[in-house]
Every structure is written in C-alpha cells, then in structure tokens.
Amino acid sequence: MFELNKLVRFNISQLKAYSSARDEFSGEAKVFLDANENSLGSPLTKWYNRYPDPHQHAVKLALSAVKGIQPAHIFLGNGSDECIDLLFRCFCEPGKDNVIICPPTYGMYEVSANINDIALKIAPLLPDFQLDLVHIETLVDANTKIIWLCSPNNPTGNSLNRVDMETILNNFNGIVVIDEAYINFAKQQSFIQELAEYPNLVVLQTFSKAWGLAALRLGMAFASTAIIDIMNKVKPPYNINQATQEFALKALEEVGQVNDMIKELVSMRQALAEVFESMPTVEKVYPSDANFILVKIKDARKIYEFLLTKGIVLRDRSSVQLCADCLRITIGTEKENTILVDAMQDWYQVQTIA
C-alpha cells in the first residue's frame, strides 16, 4: 500500500519551509517594502527590480487550462533537472535509499543520484527498448524509493509500453516518475490525467522541446497535491525568474502555433528517417516518438567526427548500453536537415575515393 508519509525523508517532514512575506498574505498589494529590493528600479527595466511570484500563480493558472489539471497539482522547476533533483532530496535518504533506472535513458537520473549519494539499481531495457518488468521487480527492496521511467525514451526515441508502466504503478509502493519530455511528439497519451488514480505518480514535462523554449529553463512536474506540497517546501523561494514567467505566459497563448510546429517536426522526422534508411551503411533507423531519431550506422564515431569538421554536431551514443554504433540526430530546420544529408553524401564520396 502506498503511504507517502513513510517515503518522505524525516528531516524533510520536519522542515519548516522558508516563507517570504509574499507567502503570508493573499490578494493584491500596492506597496512592497518587505524584501529589501531596490525600489528605484534597475538599469534594464523598472519591472525587474522586484522578486517574482514565488509560486508562479499566473503561469500555473494558464497551464492548468492547457493541461486540464488544477494548479495545485503543478510544480514548476528551473528546468526538469531541478524537479529531478528535488525528488531525490525529498524522498531519498543519502547513503541509505536506492532508486531504479532503466538504461539507456536520460543521464541526469544517474547524475542526480550520485550528487545526492543515492544508490542506483540498474534494470536495462530489453533489446526492443521496452521495460524488463521481471528484472525491475527483483531489484525492489524496502529502501527503493523511486523508479524512473522515460517515455518517449531518450536516447532511443520510443514510447514505453503503457500497460507495463501501469503494472509498475499498481505494484510499486514508492514514487514512480514518468518523464514525458517528448510526449508532444508521440501518439501515446500523457499520464497527467491518471494522477487521481495513482497517488504515487509524478509526471515530468518541459517547455524545452515542443514549446521551443529551451533557453528559459522551465520544467513541469505534475503530481498529487501532497507530493507538490513537499516539493514546494524544499524548493528555493524564487526558483523561476520573472522573465521566464512572462515568456511562458505568452507561449501558453500560442497553443495553435505550437501544435503546428509539432506537426511540421513530426513530418520532417519521417522524411529524415526515410533518407537515412536509404544510406548504404545505415543498419537501422529506430522508430521514434520524439523530435529526434536514433540511427545505427557503420563507423558511427568516424562519421560523428567527420561531421564535426563540417560544423555539424550530433550526439554520439555509441558508448551507451544497447546503443553501440548509434548516433542520435535532432530534427532540425529544413535547411539544417539538408546540410546534414549533403554532408553525409560528402562522407560517402570520401570513403569511395579512399
């Protein structure tokens, strides 16, 4: 049985959160003389001399309308990486607890675990890049606090089997995090609407991918109000800056444009995959539900280094488990994709001459 109070670190459960004066009143104030700001303004603009809303109420309200979920179920982080780190700090006791990851997967789960001195248990994906449920079950012990799942997965691009994820949610009494950074490019539905059914579920999303706002560093976590309350207690008081909140609000008014970009990227993803499938040394282009493709190709490292000489940067995933001789290729603009394909043709010509 899932009992959140047994998962929270004792020191966190006893923590008295930092409280600013702006946490301690409701309504609209006319004069702010509480936070020792420079009341005369700033060299940039008169608006940025004040601290931002510590709980990003306006952004959460606008986001709730887009996602169909109440603001109380939303946490905003300085990138999804802050959300990941906070979950470790809230629920995992350093030097004692452990978490499960399923590589190949997003690398920050491991990095954050190591930073927080949390033991990692490894349940590699099966050769088809799906979950090994039997292996995961054998790894769970009394100190396993979180299972990290990435769907669509990075770097493989595929969505994990939904029934498998539901099986874990139904049978694991710790926190299950489903990282949906690339969900907008997939046909699979988000787990956000399942929060009421699964009190142990945390869903991560981001403004970096489909929303095209990677430079703003704005991540989202969706969970029960009990989990969100714990995360809010631990986060820094003003973790999302004013400019980011303003840009996010503007972006949330342009859902139609975002959907159009998603359709265009998915179309270009299919076209680029077909081009790579026709290349002579490409062994496999893996199916993708993300804004990138994973390509298994002969001489992957040499091609990667050749492309660097042309000023083209891909991601060499050859050293990652199950991804030998694989390059991860982000879907670029039409011009960028053409430059990449032309450079690949140059590579083949060089090899023919050699």
Does the pLDDT of residue 276 top 70, yes or no? yes
Task: Copy the structure tokens of residue 307.
Answer: 């492309």
CA-nearest of 100, 102, 104 to 319 is 104
Radius of gyration of the chain (CA): 22
Which pLDDT score, from 0 to 100, does residue 30 have? 79
Q: List the domain boundaries for the chain.
A: 4-253, 256-353
Cα–Cα dist 258/70, whole Å = 22
Please indicate, yes or no, whether the overall pTM of this predicted structure exceeds 0.85. yes
Is the CATH number 1.25.50.10 carried by domain 4-253? no
Model confidence at 354, pLDDT cuts 50, 70, 90, reads: low
Instruction: Determine the average pLDDT of the residues in 333-343.
Output: 97
141: left (phi over 0), alpha (psi -120 to 50) or beta: beta
The proportion of the chain whose per-residue pLDDT surpasses 90, expressed as a percent, equals 87
Q: Sign of the CA dihedral 295, 299, 304, 310?
A: negative
Most confident range, picked from 47-51, 253-257, 349-353: 253-257
Which pLDDT score, from 0 to 100, does residue 36 have? 82
| Segment (H or E) for 100 | strand 98-101
Which pLDDT score, from 0 to 100, does residue 9 have? 95
How deeply is 132 buried, as exposed, middle or buried, from its count of CB atoms within 10 A (0-12, 13-18, 19+)? Answer: middle
User: For the chain, what is the mean pLDDT?
Assistant: 95
State the amino acid at position 97 in one-letter form.
D
Q: What's the Cα-to-Cα distance from 60 to each of 54, 65, 204, 245, rounded to whole Å? A: 12, 9, 15, 10
**pLDDT tens column, 105-157:** 999 999 999 999 999 999 999 999 999 999 999 999 999 999 999 999 999 99
**pLDDT tens column, 254-270:** 999 999 999 999 999 99
CA-nearest of 194, 139, 187 to 165 is 194
**pLDDT tens column, 279-328:** 999 999 999 999 999 999 999 999 999 999 999 999 999 999 999 999 99
> Would you call 226 helix, strand, or coil by DSSP?
helix
Place of tokens 């309504």: 27
CA-nearest of 198, 192, 191, 200 to 173 is 200
DSSP 101-136: E-SSS-THHHHHHHHTT-EEEE-PPPTTS---HHHH
Could you give the strand order of the β-sheet that contains 326-330, starting from the edge strand earlier in sequence?
282-285, 292-297, 326-330, 315-316
Options 3.40.50.1240, 3.90.1150.10, 3.90.480.20, 2.40.170.20; CATH of 256-353: 3.90.1150.10
The proportion of the chain whose per-residue pLDDT surpasses 70, expressed as a percent, equals 98
Does the pLDDT of residue 252 top 70, yes or no? yes
Q: How far apart are the first and last CA of the chain?
A: 64
**pLDDT tens column, 67-115:** 999 999 999 999 999 999 999 999 999 999 999 999 999 999 999 999 9
